[in-house]
Chains A and B, each alone.
Chain A
Amino acid sequence: MATLVQQGAEAKVYATSFYGRDAIVKERFPKTYRHPDLDKKLTHKRVVQEARCLARCQRAGIDVPALYNVDTYTNVIYMERIAGRTVKLCLLDPETDQAAAVQVATKIGESLAALHAIDIVHGDLTTSNLFLRDSNGSLAIIDFGLSYHSHMIEDKAVDLYVLERAFLSTHPDSQAIFDRILEVYLAHCKQAQKVFAKLEDVRLRGRKRSMVG
């Protein structure tokens, strides 16, 4: 018995149970707009990559959904169902005051530093992919669908840049909150200086630059 919880861009997510535990099933369905060969290649690659990244994070003690089972034939991953809500909802909630938002930002900074310390690049950091556990308020990173292993500073910088853009477009008046994330990241990540220098490059690259001033 599985009920559809969410249809994301990539996959359908169902709530179910796995040997008595609350679980979600993430099923990547064929994208009919893509050429079937391309679709098969991308889907398979992403299922394997997602499972690997989840397992790596789990081993390093980073809060992510626990991995239960992977099926690369049907492109399905079973994982822990976390009770909680997204950071997006939390920040959009009028009851979340500045102090609470800063606290959330601190947790995000710590988690991202830990993630990048083991060379995992999330690839799709948005406030919808950051989850706050009801049980202990811990910040879990979810949806490793576009994640990969990389030690390159460039990739980590782009990861932060993706978050910055998603963050500021979803929560337009929250520059201070985002700055807090970077501040905590700096304090917790050894490579942070290098990543920040690269982040500047990424921001200035190509068409992203504004010529005002």
Chain B
Amino acid sequence: MATFSLTSLPNYDRTTVISLGLEGSANKLGVGVVRHTLLQPLSAQFAGQTIQATHLAEALHGQQVDVLANLRHTYITPPGQGFLPKDTAVHHRQYILPLIAQALQEAQITPADVDAICFTQGPGMGGPLVSVAIVARTLSLLWQRPLVGVNHCVGHIEMGRQITGATNPVVLYVSGGNTQVIAYAQNRYRIFGETLDIAVGNCLDRFARIINLPNDPSPGYNIEQYAKRGSQLVDLPYAVKGMDVSFSGILYNVQTLAKTRLGTNRSTSTNDNADSKGQPSTCPPLTAEDLCFSLQETIFAMLIEITERAMAHIGSQEVLIVGGVGCNLRLQEMMGEMARQRGANVFATDERFCIDNGIMIAHAGTLAFQTGFATSLADSTITQRFRTDEVYVAWRDD
């Protein structure tokens, strides 16, 4: 049974911990300030030199979490163009200092009140991660406060659990860079299923570029609006392999359709299997809206299917959606329908917490910090591929 040295924990003789969270793994720059308050200091609850993992986990689970500031600045590129690492890093460097100053002001605190500086260590794009990590290191030295490196995926999971109150859900993490089905077991968030190639958000973003949808507020949001007006379901590949999914073939397929078939009548097609039975020529011409609709219906069905399979496999009745694509209301609706059929519950958050933000990094970092974790300067390098299951989850003991 794991134990922690009581006197070395930040909450040994005080109830609150205030953390700054810096996130910049992709095109969103997020700065958050969060305050964690225990019911009473650990020394008042637990006597002796050590504390059992179970008891620490329990104390942390019951604490109050207040968001003092949650600021975000997004790097938006022109339509038809994605965000490149180099330009994104420039954006982050430009905006991070004013954003931190504004966050401290909104939170009504001074640097002296900050107990830990949490930053995203990965996964994500190298350039943007580095530019934010440098600021985190500098602040750590300047303010003489410990650094806490946070796994971006774990940040999403912990924030989702905190906001929704889900205790032990199967997590569907869907964003521009990640697609994973995750469940907790024995102090790690284990990956049950994931994409074999590109992320679901990447698939949507790239398709949005092909049909020239704006990147403002986000390509995925614009696809969602288009999809609402689509009605014809075109036949796209359906690629579920066990617990895993694959999107690159679907993207290629729908891109080809967009380039060759937009505006043409479905039934005049020679290579569309769905129409081989000779559909009447009453079908309206294929529109970009139809393609968005078909793309969403197909890839979301795949995601729900692997999530349901994970739930069935581990016998869970809770499911949590996190990540930027998690904002998509159609995905949430489909997840809700699946859960209803199984008698399970869906938890989802809104765009403040679904989309990358500083709060989630501050929150997950603080949980680790409260168990005595800190990242030394030497270990504060970033990792573009940082697996969710590499993180030891010391703050849970179920």
Residues in B with CB closer than 8 Å to A32 are: 337, 340-341
The DSSP consensus for interface residues of chain B is mixed
Chain A, residue nearest B193 (CB): A165
B334 touches A33 (CB 8 A): yes
Q: Could you tell me which residues of chain A, from 159 to 174, have a CB within 8 Å of some CB in chain B?
A: 159, 162, 165-166, 169-170, 172
Q: Is B119 an interface residue (CB 8 A)?
A: no
At the interface with chain A, which of B203-211, B353-361, B382-390?
Answer: B382-390
Give chain B nearest CB distance to A121 CB in angstroms: 9
**Complex CA–CA separation, A208 to B340 (angstroms):** 32
With A169-B185, A169-B191 as known contacts, state yes or no: A38 contacts B342, CB within 8 Å: no
Identify A162's interface contact among B190, B195, B244, CB under 8 A.
Answer: B244
Compute how far the CA of A170 lies from the CA of B191 in the bound complex, rounded to whole angstroms. 11
Report if A124 contacts B (CB, 8 A).
Answer: yes
Q: Which residues of B contact A35 (CB under 8 A)?
A: 233, 297, 301
- A172/B312 in contact, CB under 8 A: no
The number of chain B residues touching the other chain, given as a range, is 35 or more
Among B183, B188, B304, contact of A33 (Cβ-Cβ < 8 Å): B304
Question: Do residues A207 and B194 form an inter-chain contact, with CB atoms below 8 A?
Answer: yes
Name the CB-closest residue of B to A129. Answer: B313
Contact of B342 among A7, A128, A159, A210 (CB under 8 A): A7
Is A211 close to B, CB under 8 A?
yes
Q: Mark B328-362, 1 if CB is under 8 A from A, else 0.
A: 00000111011011100000000000000000000
Contacts of B385 in A (CB 8 A): 207, 209-211
Contacts A32-B337, A146-B240, A211-B383; is A166 near B192 (CB within 8 Å)?
yes
Write the chain A residue with the least CB distance to B339. A33
Greatest chain B CB density within 10 A among A9, A31, A158, A210 is at A9
B305/A158 in contact, CB under 8 A: no
Whether A123 lies near B241 (C-beta < 8 A) is: yes
Q: How far is the CB of A7 from chain B (nearest CB, A)?
A: 7
B286 within 8 A of A: no
A31 with B338: CB separation less than 8 A: yes
**A7: chain B residues within 8 A (beta carbon):** 312, 342
| CB neighbours of B333 from chain A (8 A) | 33
Is the CB of B96 closer than 8 A to any CB of chain A?
A: no
- Chain B residues near A37 (CB-CB < 8 A): 233
Chain B residues with CB under 8 A of A211: 383-386
Judge whether B241 and A158 touch: CB under 8 Å. Answer: yes
Contact between A33 and B337, CB atoms less than 8 A apart: yes
> Given the complex of chains A and B, what is the CA–CA distance between A169 and B334 in angstroms?
26
Among B190, B192, B241, B384, the most chain A Cβ lie within 10 Å of the Cβ of B241
For A, the interface residue count at a CB cutoff of 8 angstroms equals 36
Question: B280 at the A/B interface (Cβ < 8 Å)?
Answer: no
Tell me, yes or no, whether A42 is within 8 Å of chain B by CB.
yes
Chain B residue at minimum C-beta to C-beta distance from A172: B186
Q: CB of A212 within 8 A of chain B?
A: yes
- Contact in complex: B312, A9 (CB < 8 Å): yes
How distant is B304 from chain A, measured CB to nearest CB, in Å?
A: 5
Q: Is there contact, CB below 8 Å, between A9 and B311?
A: yes
Report chain B residues within 8 Å CB of A9. 305, 308-309, 311-312
Query: Within the assembled complex, what's the spacing in Å between the Cα atoms of A35 and B234?
Result: 11
A146 is contacted by which of B233, B242, B342, B386 (Cβ under 8 Å)? Answer: B242
Which B positions have Cβ atoms within 8 angstroms of A? 123, 178, 183, 185-186, 188, 190-199, 233, 235, 238, 240-244, 297-298, 301, 304-305, 308-309, 311-314, 333-335, 337-338, 340-342, 383-387, 390
Q: Residues of A at under 8 Å CB distance from B?
A: 7-10, 31-35, 37-38, 41-42, 123-126, 128, 146, 158-159, 162, 165-166, 169-170, 172, 202, 205-212
18 more contacts with CB within 8 A, not counting A38-B301, A166-B243, A211-B384, are: A7-B342, A31-B341, A33-B337, A34-B297, A34-B304, A34-B334, A35-B233, A35-B301, A38-B233, A124-B242, A125-B242, A128-B313, A146-B242, A162-B241, A165-B192, A202-B196, A206-B195, A206-B197
Selected A-B contacts with CB under 8 Å, 16 pairs: A9-B309, A32-B337, A32-B340, A33-B338, A123-B242, A124-B243, A125-B242, A146-B242, A158-B241, A162-B243, A162-B244, A205-B196, A206-B195, A207-B123, A207-B199, A212-B390
